[in-house]
Amino acid sequence: MSGAPRSSWSATLSSGQTASIVVLDDGWALEVDGFRQSHVGDDAEPSPHATVRWMLAALAGPLGAEAPVRLAHLGGAAMSLPRQVAHARPDAEQVVVELEQAIVDLVVTHAPPPAGVRVVVGDARAWLDAAAPASLDGVAIDVFAGGRIPPAFTSLECALAARAALDAQGVLVVNGVAGPELGFTSAHLAALEAAFAHVALVVQGSVLAGARFGNAVVVASDAPLAADRIRAALAGDTSRGALVADVSRIVDGAAPLRDADARWSPEPIRSAVVRPD
């Protein structure tokens, strides 16, 4: 069956978790303690993971620019999104910040990153806090640990650090979560609204309606978002992810997440999770 695992290679992370490269019929995937983090296949084809396709669509503004594109990816995994960006914009200058040396070693051994992608091993939030002001066109955050997003990547302070690193037209894209309850999502969106002039969400209707737990890609910028380009990139996607340009109903007066809250994203409800692939 296409996509069925055939063999794997593993390494132990500093946390004691196991990272594995699983070879599939259509490429290979990185798994951490059984959670599939990312997939690498033919970069000329759309990623089999909807969240990668959604994040790529959310970056439609910077990627549509004529000038060279400078992007930072916080959370490396198998570097699926940087590879897709490199295919779309071979001239892009990208940096990937990954905490685990063992993950970098596994991934680079099986598929070195394309030209224009630089890999930094270290704490991604600390890297963002220290980034040069107005040096980036886009920041993509895709950091999960045990299926949950660490507090450092959904807080107001993180959003403000991203805003400082972005130029005036820059875009922040975050792989987040939503449903069945939207309390965490509301507080995450509130943090981004407190930092940026424009905030939107790419999500499936069933997740937004609370029918199940799933991913939701958040987009934020001080410049008006390229909504038409994002919708065009999402058009026809089998996941049926849609752009929600007005998130005020979701925020609904929620207080922004702060670093001091130390609030992780909710535990995935495995029985309710259906990957948006």
Cα gap 7→157, rounded to integer Å: 41
Residue 66 has phi, psi (to 5 degrees) of -80, -30
Domains in the chain, CATH or no CATH each:
44-272 (3.40.50.150)
pLDDT at 37: 78
Residue type present at position 4 = A
In this predicted structure, the answer to whether residue 275 has a pLDDT above a threshold of 70 is: no
Cα gap 235→218, rounded to integer Å: 18
pLDDT tens for 179-238 read: 899 999 999 999 999 999 999 999 999 999 989 999 999 999 999 999 999 999 999 999
pLDDT at 228: 97
**DSSP E strands, the chain:** 7-12, 18-24, 27-32, 35-40, 70-74, 93-98, 117-121, 136-141, 166-178, 198-203, 214-221, 242-244
In this predicted structure, the answer to whether residue 266 has a pLDDT above a threshold of 50 is: yes
Work out whether the CA dihedral 224, 225, 229, 232 comes out positive or negative.
negative
Ranking 23-32, 61-70, 181-190, 260-269 by mean pLDDT, the lowest is 23-32
| CA gyration radius, the chain | 17
In this predicted structure, the answer to whether residue 109 has a pLDDT above a threshold of 70 is: yes
Report which of residues 17 and 199 the model is more confident about. 199
Place of tokens 């806090």: 129
pLDDT at 271: 42
**What average pLDDT does range 5-24 have in this prediction?**
80
Backbone torsion region of residue 34, taken as left when φ is above 0, otherwise alpha when ψ lies between -120 and 50, otherwise beta: left
pLDDT tens for 40-65 read: 888 888 898 899 999 999 999 999 98
In this predicted structure, the answer to whether residue 107 has a pLDDT above a threshold of 80 is: yes
Average pLDDT value over all residues in the chain: 91
pLDDT tens for 143-180 read: 998 889 999 999 999 999 999 999 999 999 999 999 89
